[in-house]
Structure 1
Amino acid sequence: MTARRARNINGGCRVPRSGVDTANMPSVRRAVPADAHDVAGVHIRSWQWAYQGLLAQEYLDGLEPEAWATRYTFGRMGFALPSTQVAVEGSTVCGLVTTGLCRDGDLSNFGELMAIYVDPPYLRSGVGRLLMTAARLRLRRVGVSNAALWVLDGNARARRFYERDGWGCDGTHRTSVYGDEPVDEVRYRCTL
């Protein structure tokens, strides 16, 4: 273990969890513009793995990291929110989480978990839990005590992950379009 990893620089957080070797756990830090291509790669690989069978395969196969990387701002806009944090192991981005103020008109004073994705080789390693903890801390720091998220209705793995973390489906549904395909999403909420 390097001194850099042990000190967990860049304002990151490392939260121990029973049974997880935190000495070898990636650290979490705020995303910077130089991370855009790596984040896009993680984002797309995660979608291609998690949404197989839920979104059209042609759509998933056509996702391009270069196009996605240009959409990320990571502090270039000067706003505190939304905020993206990345999990890094050495110099490798292995996950991301984006939080902000809730965009749903019926939920005032709520934060929102806008995205959380882990590179498939890092699944079930504790990275998702680490990112969720970082997201909760970030949202608390901006003064909200409740949060919401949207998840594909058919994404059973993600729904179980959220439920184990204390999120609950509030019964609200919406339809989003990915490619040309409409998909149903459900909203989850939690107290931070």
Structure 2
Amino acid sequence: MDAADIEAVSTIRVRGWQAAYAGIVPRTHLDAMTVEDDAGRRRQWFSRPGRTSRDLVALGDRGPVGWICFGPCRSEMPAPERVGEVYALYITPDLLGRGIGRTLLGEAHAQMGGQGFEASALWVLSDNQRARRFYERSGYRADGAVRDDVYDGITLTELRYRCVL
């Protein structure tokens, strides 16, 4: 990913949230999301000096159609091995189920392994059954860690998943 991809990635992320989390995250939160706001935050994040995360895009006929962001694990892990983390993975909603997410995740795993990570972790909303099935088919398992996030006054639980690379 480079700076020219930010607008497309923000579109993928916002539309991905609005599709994947409909019926899970309050509609008021999803409706308030804008590509412009997301792109502004993404530009700031992308240009941060010393940033340790990596961003990859999947390209299709119409430009970027998927995005993954990963880097060092941001939470305490009970095991001693070096753990990476998938921070975000989103695909253009009308292209779900075509292998784009699996390809991006596979490349992220390869790059994490190349950086010396032995395992990968990620967080997924407990009610997001589609994402949980996807990650489980990709070798991830819930490791027992949970955290809560609040969206417009509604508390939602996330589960931490982990896999060996």
Mark yes or no: TM-score above 0.5: yes
Matches within 5 A, 1:37-186: 37-73=7-43, 75-79=46-50, 81-107=52-78, 109-186=82-159
SS of 1:72 mapped into structure 2: helix
CA distance in 1: counterparts of 2:98 and 2:105, whole angstroms? 13
SS of 2:12 mapped into structure 1: helix
CA distance in 1: counterparts of 2:108 and 2:85, whole angstroms? 9
Amino acid at match of 1:143: G
Task: Give the C-alpha shift of residue 178 in structure 1.
Answer: 2.9
Task: Give the C-alpha shift of residue 141 in structure 1.
Answer: 1.7
SS of 2:42 mapped into structure 1: coil
Matches within 5 A, 1:15-34: 31-34=1-4
Greater helix fraction, Structure 1 or Structure 2:
2
Identity %: 36
Change (3 A) 1:137 1:79: farther
CA distance in 2: counterparts of 1:43 and 1:173, whole angstroms? 23
TM-score, with structure 2 as normaliser: 0.92
SS of 2:108 mapped into structure 1: helix
CA distance in 2: counterparts of 1:114 and 1:34, whole angstroms? 21
Gaps of 5+ in 2: none
TM-score, with structure 1 as normaliser: 0.79
CA distance in 1: counterparts of 2:37 and 2:152, whole angstroms? 14
Amino acid at match of 2:40: T
Post-superposition Cα deviations, 1:109-135, rounded to whole Å, max 9, x if no partner, equal 210011111111111111011111111
Would the aligned equivalents of 2:28 and 2:152 in 1 still touch at CA under 8 Å? no
Determine whether 1:188 maps to 2:161: yes
Following superposition, which runs of at least 4 residues in structure 1 exceed 6 angstroms of deviation? none
CA distance in 1: counterparts of 2:111 and 2:151, whole angstroms? 28
Higher gyration radius (CA): 1
**Equivalent position to 2:6, from 18, 31, 36:** 36
Task: Give the C-alpha shift of residue 80 in structure 1.
Answer: 5.8
CA distance in 2: counterparts of 1:102 and 1:62, whole angstroms? 29
Amino acid at match of 1:136: H
